[in-house]
A and B are shown apart, each in its own frame.
Chain A
Amino acid sequence: MDKWKKLTASLLGPAAAIALGLLAGSIAIVIAGGSILETYAEMWKGAFGSLYFLTSTLNRATPVILVGLGAAVAFRSGFFNLGAQGQMALGGLAAALTALYVPGPGWIVAIVSMLVGIAAGGLWSAFAGYMDARFRMNLLITTLLLNYIATLFASYMVAYPFKDKTGSAAMAQSQMIDNAIWLPKLFKGMPAHVGLLLALVAMVALYVYLTRTVSGYEARMMGGNPLFAVYGGVRRTPLMLGVMFASGGLAGLAGAGEVLGSQYRYIDNSFVAADFAWTGIMAALLANAHPIGTAIAAFFLVALQTGGMGVEMNTDVPLEIGDVIQAVLILFITVKFVRGFRRRRKEGDPNGAAV
């Protein structure tokens, strides 16, 4: 009984957020001179209208879910890792280069490439964790600044030493990887690839880790009150390095999966343009860093983007309509924190209410 009540209460927030987001979207549609119903119908079609659209939404959601899970595990532990963009870029680049230059049977190279991608993203992220643990350098800011450095570095690599010079175009991209290494598609001729299954496995694994394991318990306590965790015998530095490695590793895997399963080469700026990293972080924020909620939120946010493309194709409303709805959703996550606070105040301790 109590559990059901809790569940409905926890669903109320997201439902209200979605309603408000759609309302704001409606206003934007009217401003842009479109019809609300028609636009939303097109949006639905663009996201889920056919198996092709659905699988392309799923395809795009794959890296976003992975990044979101990575952000979620860091947020739950109280570490604001905002460096997914750089971690993903390095993961993608490392996977592409491995796939291009390591010999061997296709599936082995594919696995090795993904592992290298995880390692690249994970180490880059753990580096920021190390700077925080060792030198007390604010993680939130270093991860952000490292984004720029990593992205620029990856751009350089495919603009100069590893540039694909076979093509006629002057695009900054690596060579195409051998198709024996490509990740298999889930449905023939459809965009979604095996990476999606990996993302779902990661989601379940993360859920189990956080709720059932000793280390996950320690991570959550670290997020709740770090001094309490340290007092209780949780070692902050190893935990931080581990969590940051996992967090960046998931972002690196997102990049690797995108390269091996979708783009088949590292194309400069393609991850940034699709906004995978920040959408994933938004998903984690929306779901309060709950793993399953993060995956659902990631799918929903991506549906807004692919739906927006459908809208642009078939109506006069620009695809950025999805951005507006997202922006309102993001504002709403802060309101969620408020609800928790109100309740606290009512039960309040008399000494804390001197505001």
Chain B
Amino acid sequence: MEQLFDLALFNSALRMLTPILLAALGGALCARVGLFNVGLEGLMLIGAFSAIVGNHYFGNTGAAIAFSIGCVSLFALLFAYLCIHLRANVIVVGIAMNLLAAGLTTFSLRTLFNVKGAYYNKDMVGLPKWEIPLIKDIPVVGDILSGHSPLVYLAIVLVGAMWYYFYRTIGGFRFLAAGDNPLAARSLGIQVRRYQYGAMLACGVLCALAGAQLSLGQVTMFTEGMTAGRGFIALVATMLGQSGPLGVAAASLLFGLMDAFSIRLQGFAMPSHFTQMVPYAVTIAAMFFFKNKEFVKDAQSSGTSSR
């Protein structure tokens, strides 16, 4: 009988948490400048699809990721323009973005590859697995940390980079200020909109990477709706982590572990339906951490911050 917990579980948890973490960091950037980005799911889906398209046409994972970043950035800019310049409701645009992503990827899958449901090609190369020279020889840690796609390591580095940006640089200081009190920031001549655009664009890049990790890192294929709610789980991670890089990383770790756990459970005699529910159920359970706020107080504070 298979074991429920072993090192490989943590190894796969690291792999599974990466797309959630990347998207959640993007969500955190947006949240910090007052944009509640419901569109993470859609941006991630476009990222996953365009990474496969790039891979198909360029036959090179680097170019594929670059192509994916380009595509998603375009949509992120459109998103930003609608929300910031045209002042459309962020939640409505986010929902629309998700629907748009689902429709466009389905249509493009059909026109570009002439297939329905999923595209797979054995000639496509996925992201390489990196063995980290020194670390891989350390007994326990090496088994967990080594042998992942570069995006896994990039995600971890980005957590640190974002922390440094937020709390140590002038740019990050102003970024946080623009989100904390946009009116005050404007009165000092800080271009709040520029930071909002920057956040949305960076979020697009992060979602592109998240999507690429899904379609090129974990498997090498694209299936319709393959993000399967991970964008929303990432959004919860953003909320649980209170939009701080370390908190977001911790929340993502929990969800990644649950993702890996749910796959592991399939080895047991349990219908896959229930094992697949685990990440969603755990996410809902995690949201309990947000209780204990009276509606009136909550609505007041959100009401004043947007004014």
Contacts and interface: CB of A to CB of B under 8 A. Distances in A.
Q: Do chains A and B touch in the complex (CB under 8 A)?
A: yes
Interface of A: 28, 31-32, 80, 82, 131, 133-138, 140-142, 144-149, 152-153, 155-156, 159-160, 226-227, 230, 236, 278, 281-282, 285, 318, 320-321, 323-324, 326-327, 330-331, 333-335, 337-338, 341, 354-355
A164 B206 CA distance: 45
Contact of A141 (B99, B186, B235): B235
B298 to A, nearest CB: 6
Interface of B: 38, 78, 82, 86-89, 91-93, 95-96, 99-100, 102-104, 106-107, 110-111, 183, 186-187, 193, 228-229, 232-233, 235-236, 239, 271, 273-274, 276-277, 280-281, 283-284, 287-288, 290-293, 295-296, 298-300, 303
Contacts of B92: 285, 333-334, 337
Contacts of B281: 149
Nearest to B282: A145
B278 to A, nearest CB: 10
Contact of A152 (B102, B273, B296, B299): B273
Contacts of B292: 135-136
Contact of A135 (B102, B229, B239, B288): B288
B280 A334 contact: no
A159 B287 contact: no
Contacts of B283: 145
Majority DSSP secondary structure for residues of B touching A:
helix
B240 to A, nearest CB: 11
Contacts of B38: 140
Nearest to A156: B273
A354 B293 contact: no
A354 B186 contact: yes
A279 B151 CA distance: 35
B288 A137 contact: yes
Contacts of B300: 227
A148 B259 CA distance: 14
Contacts of A149: 277, 280-281
A136 B95 contact: no
Given A156-B273, A337-B92, 19 more contacts: A32-B111, A131-B284, A133-B295, A137-B284, A141-B287, A145-B232, A145-B284, A148-B228, A148-B277, A149-B277, A159-B271, A281-B99, A320-B110, A326-B103, A327-B100, A334-B93, A335-B82, A337-B86, A341-B87
17 contacts: A135-B287, A136-B295, A137-B288, A137-B291, A138-B290, A145-B283, A159-B273, A230-B296, A285-B96, A318-B107, A327-B99, A327-B100, A334-B88, A337-B87, A337-B88, A341-B87, A355-B186
A142 B284 contact: yes
Contact of B273 (A31, A153, A320): A153
Contact of A337 (B89, B193, B271): B89
Contacts of B82: 334-335, 338
A324 B290 contact: no
A354 B303 contact: no
A155 B273 contact: yes
A49 to B, nearest CB: 23
B221 to A, nearest CB: 19
B86 A31 contact: no
Contacts of B271: 156, 159-160
B100 A152 contact: no
A338 B87 contact: yes
Contacts of B111: 28, 31-32, 318, 320
Contact of B229 (A145, A156, A227, A281): A145
Query: Which are the 10 A-B pairs with shortest beta-carbon distances?
Result: A135-B291, A156-B273, A323-B103, A327-B103, A320-B107, A334-B88, A338-B86, A318-B110, A337-B88, A137-B287
A152 B228 CA distance: 12
Contacts of B287: 131, 135, 137-138, 141-142
B106 to A, nearest CB: 5
Contacts of B228: 148
A136 B293 contact: yes
Contact of A145 (B93, B186, B276, B280): B280
